[in-house]
Structures are given as structure tokens and as C-alpha cells.
Structure 1
Amino acid sequence: MPLPSRSLLPGSLLLGLALLPLTAIADRPLSVVAPWEITGADPSTSGYVYARMRVAETLVDTDAAGQPAPGLAESWQVSEDGLAWRFALREGVSFHDGSPLTAQAAAASLEHARAKPGILDSAPIAAIEADGNEVVVQLESPFAPLPALLAHSTTLILAPAAYDDEGRVSQVIGTGPYRVESVAPPQRLGVERFDDYWGEAPAIDSASYLAVGRGETRALMAESGDADVVFTLDPASQTRLARNDRLTLHAEPIPRTIVFKVNAAHPLLEDERARQALSLAIDREGIAAGLLRNPEAAAAELFPASLGSWHLGLDAGEARDLERARELLAELGWQANGNGVLERDGEAFELTLRTFSDRPELPLVATALQDQWRELGVALEVAVGNASEIPSGHRDGSLELGLMARNYGLVPDPLGTLLDDFGADPESMGGDWGAMGWRDTDLAGWLDTLRQEADMEARSELAGQVARRLNEAMPVVPVAWYQQTAAVNAELEGFSIDPLERSYRIDELRWSE
């Protein structure tokens, strides 16, 4: 039975709690709270929750430097022509239903993943087969970042019994250190320790996950002791919670960037000079220091330094030039009217920016952009809704601007995300979270070359070219680097934040004695 929150206990009960056997304290369940809802059992829609709660695993993991590392596959190799990848599975791994992990089961699970929208869409996969204890991925053309894609949560390996007769995921049966005990979409997931786990057994017997969309509510749950680990805190709450001696606060820079995507087919935004002007009018340093409480977060480019050759080293302090922004818009025929709003041919420069509050800093940044662009003469309306409204607006063409936090480390190689966002496919104009109404033939060619290029020096040069072109054309405009934050019960030991957001690392936690 879960122990009650310590903050709700009278002194006499606290004394009694202190006298409980150490095993009772160690066995108390863990409560995790985050913003993200559970939309179902299928990894294609909710795999990130099951991966983060350590229920299911992928063939490829990542190491401390964010590079591909052994997961359920202990090693892999590629043929000389680059068309066949062989992934050798670990021995002695069992699914939560007691069935063994076999190459046939893993290959079938990946085929199920490939049949649905997901990260594997960007790879030229011809077939996925089993050969002895190896999963063999046959390609139509060489694709160097394949191992990185197989670290993504949409490629979680599930047992054969997880699928119904029509290939739908009916239950999540993975290989992780925890197995599903209960699930109640869209908010709740309960997990318990899997005693036959192939790796090191976790110290905590059971844990729960609760999706809570409002940042204020999450912070109050941490403050009251109703949750043990609370992710994604707004800046104001961080300041308050830092004064609570029952909590420890953690922050970790991650390869996620606060950006706004632009409908480049919109009449006001189709010329890249208009997009550049909007970027030049942003006070990134003011937003980072004043709103995000982190002066180092100001970002003049999409990719942080942790992404190596994709990072250009641009100075955010030099990225603001209001006079140059005005000059660019004047070149396009925009002039201020009597109210200070830009007009051209009788039309005002008015736009709507959509964002969402699941990440509590986004509405604050949106309001700052509204104020800063007003100084430029641009009238901006801010619409705060659900995160789904940005991709839906992309698909139906109604989106003008969308403010979001895009993770370029979804897989260990950013190329996987960029292929989805800016696609090399001639028929594609970009993914739901990437380019809208914009396509660059050179960039598409560089991305296509990166799919096949194995030479690291050549890959590094191409990565820089891609980053520079995106910074010039600005189909997506950077504002700030992102930090993952968490408030943690001070009685927990071993907590750390995964910079790639693949895991909540609950199997590494233990209650202090």
C-alpha cells in the first residue's frame, strides 16, 4: 500500500514512520509526474512514455555522449555495399510474459513499427528479417544513421503477444526492468519491477506515472509531496521550489530548441527577408535571462554545441538588429501607418502565432515575441491551445506561425529528425514540426547525401552546410536552448536527467535509508 505524503502526516505519525523497518521505506512506491499524455498502447503514439518508464527497450541504446550504444542488440555490422545491417541480439533476454526475445520476435516488432508513421519512414528499408540470432535490415540504398533510428521510442521491441490478430498493439509487453501493472489512458500508468530482467534489477519495487498538463499543478504536487519526481517546471515555480528543503532541483541542457516554424507559403512570409526580419527583431538574451532565468539559453541557431558539427557557433548577442529588420521589411514595401503598424497595399502586417502550455515557458516566450515584434510594427495575436494544433494547422494549411520546443536529439544523429522536418523526398514539403511551404533543392540533396555518406569528415562538412542554409532561409527560427528541469523528493538517491529524454532512469533510483 502506498505511503501517504509526508507533508500530510501529523508529528506522531512521522515518528512512527521513522521507526518502520528499512525495507518498508525502501519498498515504498515512486510517483512520477510529467506533462505528456498516454494516447494508447502503440509505440507509434505513446512509445516515449513506455520507454521513459523503462517498460520497453530498443535494439540500440545511447551512451553518455549521446552516441549509439548496445541495447537489446549487443553489436551490429554493415555490409561493404551498405545495404545490409546485421544486429546480433543479447542472449537470455525475456519478455514480461516469459517468452524469449528472439530475432523473429524483434524483426516482427520492427515490421509492425515500419507499417505505421514514425522515424523508420526516413530510412530506405526493403525488408526486416531474422537470421539465427540476428535481425537483418535490408536497405534499398545505403543509410548511415540506421542504428541511431533504432534507438527511437517508436521502434520499441514488443513480444508477439502484444499484438492482436490485425497487428494492433493490445498491450505493452516489453523487456525492460519494469512491466505494466495498470494503464488508464490518457493520464495514468502503473509499473512494477520485472524480476527476470536481463540487466541490473531496480531498487524500487513499483512506480506510477501521471500526466498533468498544467505546470502550476505539477509544481504544487512537488511542493505538497504528492509526487516524488516532477518534470518540466516553469521558471517562477523553480524559484519557489528551490527554497523547499524537502526537494532537490535539477536542470540539464538538452538538444531541444525553442523555435517558431513559419508558413513560408503565406503571402507575408514567403520572402525570406520577412522571416529574417522577424528573427532580427528578437531580443534572445532578454528572453533567456528575464523569462527563462538562464542567460546562457539564448540561441541564434537551431543546433546547440552538444550536436558537434551541426553547431555554427553564432553569437546570440549579435543576432538582434532592429534597424536592419526595418530595412528588410522596407525593401518588401512595408511602411508604418499612423498606429505604428506596418502596411503594404492597404494590408496590415498581422499574424497569429499558435503555441501550447504543456511546456509552461512557451506562452511566456510567445508574449515576449508579441511585445518585441510590436516595436517592429508587426501585430501578433497569440493563441494558446493544444500541442496538436500546430501539426493539424500544418496539414490543413491554416498555421501562420507555431512556437514549440523541437528536440533535435530524438535519435543520436540529428539527421533522423531533419529528414522528417525538411525531407529529402521530392514529394515532401516537410514534416508536421518542420518546414511548411518551403523547400530547398540544395538542402534536400545534402540531406540525401548524408543518408548514405559514411566518411566522418564529409559528414561533418555537409552538416555545417545544412545548418548554414537553414539559418539563412529560416523556415524554422531559433529563440532559445531548452533545459529539462525536475523537482525531486530529497529522500531519493541516484537521480539524473537523460539529456536525450529517452528515459526517466527510474531503475537507477533508490530511497535513502
Structure 2
Amino acid sequence: MIHHLRRGVAISALWAGAALAQQTDITIGMVLEPPNLDPTAGAAAAIDEVVYANVFEGLTRFGPDGSVLPALAESWEISDDGSVYTFYLREGVTFHDGTAMTADDVVFSLDRARAEGSTNAQPALFANIVGVEAVGDLTVVVTLDGPDGAFLFDMAWGDAVIVAPESAETNATNPVGTGPFRFASRVEGDRVDLVRHDGYWGEHVALEAATFRFISDPNAAFAAMMAGDVDAFPNFPAPETLAQFAADPRFSVIVGSTEGETILAMNNAQAPLDDIRVRQAITHAINRQDIIDGAMFGYGTPIGTHFAPHNPDYVDLTGLSAYDPERSRALLAEAAPDGLTLRLALPPPSYARRGGEIIAAQLREVGIETEITNLEWAQWLEQVFRGRDFDLTIVSHTEPMDIGIYARPDYYFQYARPEFVALNDTLAQTTDPGARSALMVEMQQMIAEDYVNGYLFQLAKTGVANAAIEGLWANSPTQANDLTGVRWTQ
């Protein structure tokens, strides 16, 4: 309502001969609603899409090009052996409740994230920390169990943001961070409202207010954009309509890349998917391009392993799992001569629902039947991600550089081959760029040759925005709608 009232007042002023005031609020459309607003206590990408860089900040942060930049730490030093990081914090930083952000808050946040029983969704980010010490108010010393070439990268994740002990337990419903926007209100099932934090330590953002509206239905998303009820939809769920927006001067279409490896995940610990022949048969039954064309209207890049094609260390392994239905049938004749019926659990995004129907038809062609269940996001997190109660599912893993999840024995697709775990451990202790690249190539090849999952495509970032808006990210180096550089140009 405020959004439309402000525009109405401005238009009336124009009719009266006054200059049209530049708009200072924005409404962002999102497909999925975050289950909570605490990025340190949830795996859903939608949490970071609202709060990353807007409400919460870490020691470091990702820039729009994927680079690691200073954030709450303005600088740092690394010991000669690569195992001790000394972070120098910015002066004058306060949380939104007015309390000072000091080294003690950093100690609290990192100790909390790595504590036994932590609810953090990415415990591997903190697993090599052996000690965190405050040296005065603005210096923190983090000691690792060995050198870690990815530590500054890891600290830029949303899961590693700095929180205060006074508000940590209620951040899920009332997030209190250090960012340029503070939480105003939430209407579950509808929206989250943020307002500019005038006590921000850094440069003030141009926007005074931001609303994130949750619209899962592609038709409703299209209607909301056309009506002006939403100003921008950075991850637009109806790519079939992008040509229509591109032809309309009121809008700009923003197409980029994401970190989202879209996979047909398989439950490797459960029969019959514990048989590599069955997993291989499934991958050879899949025509990636048909899925990209049918579910994403041509937007997406085929992948053959769990690695982003825009990463310089990516290896094109699509040939290992090339579409080959005859090979698929031969493998099934060996491994499952009596046929197979598998459960396919689909979360809400259109890539999953549309892609699931296409994959079900492709599997049927080689003799595999599927029982499709459409799950809401909370159900999917509980049943599939946490409960591991599934055979197949489709999901985009939007976390940056996350091949390390294959080393986690408790992870939902349940792989954790000891040789892969050893490679991942070695990678964590390796700082030489060339050696790290070689290890990542070997890791990509191992999971591709083990046919852990069906690797489908890298999710494209297809967005639509009012043509007068600038500063939205074209690419998604992390799962975020960073509004810090967004402004209206007229």
C-alpha cells in the first residue's frame, strides 16, 4: 500500500507542475518464502536472498563478480604457515539494536557456529577452527588446525555472518544485524519489509525501504510485474515470458549465471540406488537439453559434475553421462531385470516441477517408473534434506563452491566415499593455487565417475526489472538479492 501511495502522490505533484520525486522504495519478487530469517540456522537459499549483505554481514563478503571483499573486517593478516588469521575489525560498527559490534561478537558467532549441536547448515565452514580469541575490542585471532586456502572465502558465506549474543536466539523471527537495512516487519505467506538503517557504519544505501514479496506461481509473478506491483524479480519463475518483457521498454531483462548446480539427486545409501549400475542407467536415460528446453525454455548450461561451468577449474564431464537410452536399458537388464519404481520428490520451483515431469517421461522410456510427490519447501527440507526419506529429487544447489558437501556422511544424498573425503581434507589444507586446481579436478571426476547424482544444468539467473532500476546483480556468486548498490535512475 505504501508503495502505491508514494507513486500516487508523486504523479499528483507532476500534474501540479512539480518535478517528479525520485522513488526510494523497491518491491522485490521472490519465488520461495524463507522458513526463517536467520542465515546461521537454516539451509534454505531464500533466507540469504532476503538478508545477505542487506541485514547481516560477515568478516568478509562476496562481491557481484564472486570476489571476496572486506566487510566487518577491514583487513587481515595470515601467518607464514597459513594457520592463523588475524582480523582487524572496523571501528564504530553497531547492531541494529544500538549495541556495539566488537571482537567478542565475532568470538561468540564463530564459537556458536562450530559448537556441538549447532543448528548451522554449513558446519564444514568452521570445522578446522581450533580457537577464536579477542585481542582488544577490534582484533580477532582465529587459529586453524592447518593451512586453509579457502578460509576467507568460507567466511563470506551467509552462514558465517556475525551476530550478537543478545539477539542471536531470536534472529529467526526478529533479525538483528549490522547491515545497511534493518528488519521492519513480516507477514507470513506474503512479504518481509526492511527499512534503511541510518546508523550504518558504511556508505548509506540509496533505497529507504525494501519489500520482498513471495510469489511462487509463475502466472501470478508475470501479472505482478506487468501491473507494477513488483519492481524487480531477480530470479523470475516464468522464463517463457522473458521475450515479452524484453520487447516492452518499461522493463529490462537481466540474464546471467548462478552458482546453482541443478541435479537429479539420488539416495546413494538406499537400494536400488546403492548400485552404481542403477545410478549410471538413470543418468544415461536423461536428455539434458530436453530438460533445459522444456523446463527452462532454453536457459541453462549442461553440466556433468557438481561444479559451475564459469569456474576456471571446471571440467566438462557431460560425456560420461551422455544421453544413451540403449546403454541405460542394458545396465538395467543387469542390475534390475524385474524393473524399477522409484519415488521422485519435487520441491516447488518450476525447474523442479517442470523438469520432474520431463525426467519421469525419460525414465519411463527405459523401463523405470516414478511415483511423483510434490512437496512444499518446508516439507522438502524436513523429509528429503533432513530425513533422507526419498529415492530421487530435483534441486538447485546455489551455495558457492560447494563440492565439499560430497564429503559429508550425513548429507542427504549420502555419498561420502572415503577417497573423496580424503581429497576434500587435502584441499582444505592446500594453499597453492595450482595444487588446489588439480585436487578440484580430481574431485569433479570422482563424483562424475561414481554417478553420485544426475547432473542436469547450471541454473541461469533470469531476472526482470523496471527499466529505471540499476545496480541489481546480473550474476549470483552467492544466493543473495544484494540491494546495497540499487537505485532508481528516474
Query: Does TM, normalized by the shorter one, top 0.5?
Result: yes
Q: Deviations over 1:487-509 (max 9, x none)?
A: 21223233333422343232322
CA contact (8 A) 2:62 2:478 kept: no
Contact 2:294 2:358 in 1 (8 A): no
2:239 aligned with 1:249, yes or no? no
CA deviation after TM superposition for structure 1 residue 145, in Å:
1.9
Q: Distance in 1 between matches of 2:479 and 2:457?
A: 21
Q: Does 1:48 align with 2:48?
A: yes
* Deviation at residue 171 of structure 1 after TM alignment: 3.5
Tell me which of 168, 175, 200 is aligned to 1:197. 200
* Deviation (angstroms), 1:50: 4.7
- Counterparts of 2:52 and 2:173 in 1: how far apart (Å)? 20
Q: Does 1:307 align with 2:298?
A: no
Greater shift after overlay, 491-500 or 462-471?
491-500
Q: Paired residue for 1:181?
A: 184
Q: Spell out, residue by residue over 1:80-126, the C-alpha distance to the aligned partner (whole angstroms, 9 max, x if none).
A: 34432211112333332333332122222333333423224442222
**Which residue of 425, 437, 449 maps to 1:472?**
449
Contact 2:40–2:161 (8 Å) recurs in 1 = no
User: Given the alignment, which residue of 114, 121, 144 partners 2:149?
Assistant: 144
Q: Where do 5+ consecutive residues of structure 1 fail to align?
A: 335-342
Aligned length: 479
Give 3-state SS (helix, strand or coil) of 1:369's partner. helix
Residue-by-residue CA offset, 1:21-46 (whole Å, 9 max, x unaligned): 5574333x211121232333433236
Question: Cα–Cα, structure 1 residues 127 and 238, in superposed 2: closer, same or farther, change >3 Å?
Answer: same
1:493 is matched with 470
Residue 386 (structure 1) shift: 1.9
Measured at CA, do residues 295 and 169 of structure 1 come closer, stay the same or move farther in structure 2, by a change above 3 Å?
closer
In structure 2, list runs of 5 or more residues that go unmatched.
Answer: none
In 2, the alpha carbon distance for the partners of 1:168 and 1:291 equals 36
Q: How much does 1:385 deviate?
A: 1.1
Query: Which secondary structure does the structure 1 equivalent of 2:331 belong to?
Result: helix
* Cα distance in 2 for residues equivalent to 1:191 and 1:300: 40
Larger CA deviation: 500-509 vs 467-476: 500-509
Decide whether aligned partners of structure 1 residues 284 and 163 sit closer, same or farther in structure 2, where only a CA change above 3 A counts: closer
Give the match's secondary structure for 1:306.
Answer: coil
Give the stretch that moved more between structures: 40-49 or 259-268.
Answer: 40-49
Q: Is the 8 A contact 1:302 1:477 kept in 2?
A: no
Partner letter of residue 74 of structure 1?
Answer: E
Partners of 1:20 and 1:121 in 2: CA distance: 60
Q: CA deviation at 1:333?
A: 5.2
Task: Answer with 262-271 or 316-325: which moved more.
Answer: 316-325
Which of residues 415, 428, 439 is equivalent to 1:451?
Answer: 428
Contact 1:40 1:185 in 2 (8 A): no
Give 1:337's aligned residue.
Answer: none
1:298 matches 2:302: yes
Task: Compute the displacement of 1:473 (Å).
Answer: 0.8
**What is the RMSD computed on CA atoms of the aligned residues?**
2.9
Tell me which residue corresponds to 1:338: none
**Letter of the aligned partner of 1:112 in structure 2?**
R
Given that 2:295 and 2:350 are in contact with CA atoms closer than 8 Å, whether structure 1 keeps it comes out as no
Aligned mates of 2:299, 2:147 — CA distance in 1: 42
Q: 1:383 aligns with which of 369, 373, 376?
A: 373
- Following superposition, the deviation at residue 175 of structure 1 comes to 1.8
The 1-side partners of 2:254 and 2:146 are apart by 43
**Does structure 2 retain, via aligned residues, the 8 Å contact 1:51–1:156?**
no
Secondary structure of the equivalent of 2:310?
helix
Supply the distance in 2 between the matched residues of 1:367 and 1:226 (Cα, whole angstroms): 31
Residues 73 and 276 from structure 1, CA distance in 2 versus in 1: closer, same or farther, beyond 3 angstroms? Answer: same
Distance 2:367 2:79 in 1: 58
Partner residue, 1:114: 114
SS in 2 for 1:236: helix
**Alpha-carbon displacement from aligned partner over 1:148-179 (angstroms, at most 9, x marks no partner):** 22111122223454246xx8767322221112
Identical counterparts, % of pairs: 25
